A and B are shown apart, each in its own frame.
Chain A
Amino acid sequence: MLKDITLGQYFPGDTVVHRLDPRTKLLLTVVYIAALFMVGSWGGYALVFAALAAVTALAKIRPKALLKGLKPLVFIIVLTAILNLFFTAGDDVLFRWKFIKITYTGLDRAVAMVLRVLLLVSGTFLLTYTTSPLAITDGLERLMSPLNRLHVPVYELSLMMCIALRFIPTLIEETDRIMSAQKARGADLETGTLPERARALLPLLIPLFISSFRRADELALAMECRCYNGGQGRTRMKQLHMAGRDAIAFVLGAALVAGILILRRLGI
């Protein structure tokens, strides 16, 4: 049952978007988020939406997949809309009923905020949909590598991240096994009040913790046997290469920001 959880949400593929250097994609995601906050007109939102749609099409990601990713956020989006709709001060009243008052400014704000949240989340989803967790870790490590000089253990952090990702399926499998074992001995994990259920989790968590420590111990030993000696003097099999397409991506990113600023100035 726990196996159904999808992790990382990476859709393997071989499109231009997939092949971009992970560093490019990470940086452009940051640019995209910043650009989204610079938007000052409806035309700007249309432009960002067009850019997002273009990348989604290029990456051959089905729009349905993006919408599915937004599902858990429905509550936050609705809340954002309600707060902005009802609690924005203003004189240009559109609708009034008893104490409820909706203003044009409020409507404007609500739609803009909802659009912003939707575009922000979809944009970051595109990153994880087209970049494997490993590539993201790798890209982050290299973007952060100047921090090495400040004695931040960048390689160790990225290795930790990589190992954590590697062990998620293993630990899920183990949890499943322990759950079955405890259920076979009559443990009741599904009924009862909340405190009762929380207490019922203990016999699940304790064996899981103990076995994780044992695994960590064995893994450390195996790593030492494979000459692990910290990040110093390490080489990498896979070198990241910026290619022509990365340059084009950066130019397009800059064009997006410029377009947003121009539309804002023009007030379209």
Chain B
Amino acid sequence: MDPVIHIENISYTYPEAERPALDGVSLDLFPGVFTAVLGANGSGKSTLAKHLNAILVPTAGRVTVDRMDTADEAYLIPIRRRVGMVFQNPDNQIVANVVEDDVAFAPENLGVEPAEIRRRVDAALTQVGMYDFRLHAPHLLSGGQKQRVAIAGVLAMEPEVLVLDEPTAMLDPRGRREVLAAVEGLCRGRGITVVLITHHMDEAARADRVLVMDAGRIAMDGTPREIFPRAEQLRALGLDVPETAALLARLNAAGMHLAADALSPEECADVIKEALCR
């Protein structure tokens, strides 16, 4: 299968910065895969995200989206339509003062027919569970609801890839759950490729693939089951491990022999129960 996004040995240095923010990253993102990107602050995760839809163009190397080079200005709009992006602060992404008008913003920009815009807006709002709020004013919604509106605003472009740059960082636990459930639903239900940049290990544990960034490079790349048992290495990179992985690692250090890759709380409980009953 062809990757949706192909990244070939890219580097990027911000103007007036000494150290490159990205330093030789190569990566293929395949359709329908849920990828989580982890890394300490300044590790280059957001910079990498901004290369996926041509907000930034690499100083060296090449990024292609469906074989279109992001450095080619002619492909700017087609690339941004295919790769939607959601940011941290929902307040700063919402343009209009009625939910449905905001969701219509992107397809209106693309010159879509009015009837088709209506269909897309309704579909996008339904997908994130915000259809009932379509006539509300955004500033009266909760953080999680606003962020889901922002996601719907991107979905209305019918993108192939959804990039989310710490979308839950400003939300309370309930908002986080709502947003994450919506994102997972889009990936599992609609086959949208998801790239989720996050600081929350439990969010990353639900992905198909985890990338760990450090100093502008990809330090680790694998499934959550491969990555999270390596607690030592993660801590050295300034990251935590999910609570389940941390518990299993401590029990193993205390002399038990448990499978270290049981990440969900249920699996973890099963593994411990089995060991105790043995």
A residues contacting B by CB (< 8 A) are: 133-134, 159, 162-163, 165-166, 169-170, 173, 215, 218-219, 221-229, 233-239
Whether A226 contacts B154 by the Cβ 8 Å rule is: yes
Query: What residue of chain A has the Cβ atom nearest to residue B111's Cβ?
Result: A233
Tell me if B242 is interfacial: C-beta within 8 Å of chain A.
Answer: no
Name the one of B91, B92, B112, B121 contacting A235, with C-beta atoms under 8 angstroms.
B112
Q: Within 8 Å CB of B97, what residues of A? A: 133-134, 162, 165-166
Q: Within 8 Å CB of B84, what residues of A? A: 225-226
Contact pattern, B 103-142, Cβ under 8 Å of A = 1, otherwise 0: 0111111111110011001000000000000000111000
Whether A235 contacts B96 by the Cβ 8 Å rule is: no
Contact pattern, B 62-77, Cβ under 8 Å of A = 1, otherwise 0: 0000000000000001
Name the one of A162, A221, A225 contacting B154, with C-beta atoms under 8 angstroms.
A225
Query: What residue of chain A has the Cβ atom nearest to residue B121's Cβ?
Result: A237
Complex-state Cα separation, A166 to B106, whole angstroms: 17
**Min CB–CB distance A214 → chain B (angstroms):** 8
Whether A218 contacts B96 by the Cβ 8 Å rule is: no
Tell me if B53 is interfacial: C-beta within 8 Å of chain A.
Answer: yes
Whether B80 contacts A225 by the Cβ 8 Å rule is: yes
Query: What residue of chain A has the Cβ atom nearest to residue B112's Cβ?
Result: A235
Q: Within 8 Å CB of B121, what residues of A? A: 237
Contact pattern, B 33-74, Cβ under 8 Å of A = 1, otherwise 0: 000000000000000000001010000000000000000000
Q: Within 8 Å CB of A173, what residues of B? A: 139
Task: Give the number of chain B interface residues (Cβ < 8 Å).
Answer: 40
- The 6 A-B pairs of least Cβ separation, nearest first, read A226-B106, A218-B92, A222-B93, A237-B104, A237-B117, A169-B139
Name the one of A162, A169, A227, A236 contacting B81, with C-beta atoms under 8 angstroms.
A227
Given contacts A225-B53, A234-B108, 11 further A-B contacts (CB under 8 A): A169-B139, A170-B91, A170-B139, A221-B87, A222-B87, A222-B95, A224-B80, A225-B55, A236-B117, A237-B100, A238-B101
| 5 pairs from A and B in contact (CB 8 Å cutoff) | A134-B101, A166-B94, A229-B109, A237-B114, A237-B118
Q: Within 8 Å CB of A165, what residues of B? A: 97
Name the one of A162, A169, A170 contacting B96, with C-beta atoms under 8 angstroms.
A162
Complex-state Cα separation, A218 to B28, whole angstroms: 28
Tell me if B89 is interfacial: C-beta within 8 Å of chain A.
Answer: yes
Complex-state Cα separation, A9 to B153, whole angstroms: 28
Tell me if B85 is interfacial: C-beta within 8 Å of chain A.
Answer: yes
Tell me if B157 is interfacial: C-beta within 8 Å of chain A.
Answer: yes
Tell me if B239 is interfacial: C-beta within 8 Å of chain A.
Answer: no
Whether B139 contacts A226 by the Cβ 8 Å rule is: no
Complex-state Cα separation, A154 to B237, whole angstroms: 52
Which of A215, A222, A234 has most chain B Cβ within 10 Å? A222
Known contacts A170-B139, A227-B157; A237 and B107 CB within 8 A of each other: yes
Known contacts A222-B87, A227-B157, A235-B112; A134 and B93 CB within 8 A of each other: no
Known contacts A235-B108, A236-B108, A237-B101; A227 and B80 CB within 8 A of each other: yes
Complex-state Cα separation, A166 to B153, whole angstroms: 16
**Min CB–CB distance B82 → chain A (angstroms):** 10
Which of B53, B91, B114 has most chain A Cβ within 10 Å? B91
Query: What residue of chain A has the Cβ atom nearest to residue B137's Cβ?
Result: A169
Q: Within 8 Å CB of A226, what residues of B? A: 80, 84, 105-106, 109, 153-154, 157
Complex-state Cα separation, A162 to B96, whole angstroms: 6
Query: What residue of chain A has the Cβ atom nearest to residue B105's Cβ?
Result: A226
Complex-state Cα separation, A222 to B146, whole angstroms: 14
Q: Within 8 Å CB of A169, what residues of B? A: 137, 139
**Min CB–CB distance A156 → chain B (angstroms):** 13
